[in-house]
Amino acid sequence: MEPPFSSSDLPVVRLMPKAEARAVRHGFPWVYANELVQDRRTKAIEPGALAILEDANRVAMGVVAVNPKSKIVARMLDQSPDAVIDQAWFEGRLARALAHRERLYDAPYYRLVHAEADGLPGVVIDRFGDIAVVQPNAAWAERLLAPLVAALVAVTGVGCVLKNASGRSRTLEGLDAGFEVLVGAAPETAVEVPMNGATYMADLTGGQKTGLFYDQRPNHAFAAGLARGARVLDVFSHVGGFSLAALAAGATSALAVDGSEPALTLARQGAAASGLAERFDTRGGDAFAVLAALGAEGASFDLVVCDPPAFAPSRSALEAGLRAYERVARLAAPLVEEGGYLVLCSCSHAADLAKFRAASARGIGKAGRRGVLVHEGRAGPDHPVLPQLAETGYLKALVFRL
């Protein structure tokens, strides 16, 4: 069936009698596989196809995207059963998202769509000036990519749209990975992104995720406020997120550590573009090994930042992930000067704030240091949180004074 879809064309799926219909009615956007009647007709629905969701009493609840192969078997798209999911529908969602970002930022560099919180489940769109990078992380978004992209161009006027299809979410949806130019021509070099007084280089065709992590912007800024006159260590630095902001705010020096040489190359290019190269240095290698080596060398810094990848991407990985966060804190704390600051971050939604905070405090204590928590940060306002879905509030940043 090709879009647009009329509700009269759509199959019907139904909640199990014991399923909690109120949660969906009150804004929870997902239906799990054990909550839906899995009859032969439902199982025959193609991944990403649309359907009308009914409660156990056969009362229509809205239009959902269905994927019988996923644990999240249905995602609520519109609570009106009469909604038509076409380009105009996408334009409405995108216009609402754009209006919010344009109030926040003077320049078009931000996360434009943050999945469920912006009413587009599984869809991530980051904007880099005239370029938008789309991650369709759910089967329905892959299936309806054409009207989504047409609406994106119509609403924002961007001249280039790239698809960066990779990551754990797509695997769970049964989707493959890949990169594709959907509109215009891909940039031949890294793209300059102004943020927090520095210039960052984003590789939009071969870098991580969409090319740059906008979510840390306010935490970069807070840490930079502590960095005036400071020696800074930025571990798991990617393209220099914390270190370049710190240098722009007046840090005397910054050392960026990452296991990816391409990322460090982009960090050095960003430092040069920002006029900060003389105070900036990089060190490649496994972050844990480098932290241990710096400790053995007797190195010390006024501000140490550790922003690792998700050590606990799922509940099954939680305990191992918490031990890894504790180890980061234990290795990093000895490198902080008396009265200095340690910034520890987690992007693991499975590790909530309380668990991450406890693991970090244990690590600091096991290092023989004592600290007070002076700030707790989260993702920026271009990454809104859907209150009913804890996963949208994944990012935590803790600032300790040791």
Q: How far apart are CA 40 and CA 285, in angstroms?
A: 52
Q: How far apart are CA 217 and CA 49, in angstroms?
A: 36
Of 349, 359, 348, 352, give the one whose Cα is nearest residue 400. Answer: 359
Q: How far is CA 139 from CA 13, 123, 349, in A?
A: 17, 10, 21
Q: How far apart are CA 259 and CA 149, in angstroms?
A: 34
Q: Specify the DSSP class assigned to residue 187.
A: -
Q: How far apart are CA 117 and CA 113, in angstroms?
A: 8
Are 29 and 65 spatial neighbours (Cβ–Cβ below 8 Å)? Answer: no
Q: Of the listed 160, 306, 345, 347, which one is catalytic?
A: 347
Is 347 noted as a catalytic residue in this protein? Answer: yes
Of 247, 272, 244, 248, give the one whose Cα is nearest residue 258. Answer: 244
Are 15 and 56 spatial neighbours (Cβ–Cβ below 8 Å)? Answer: yes
Catalytic residues: 347
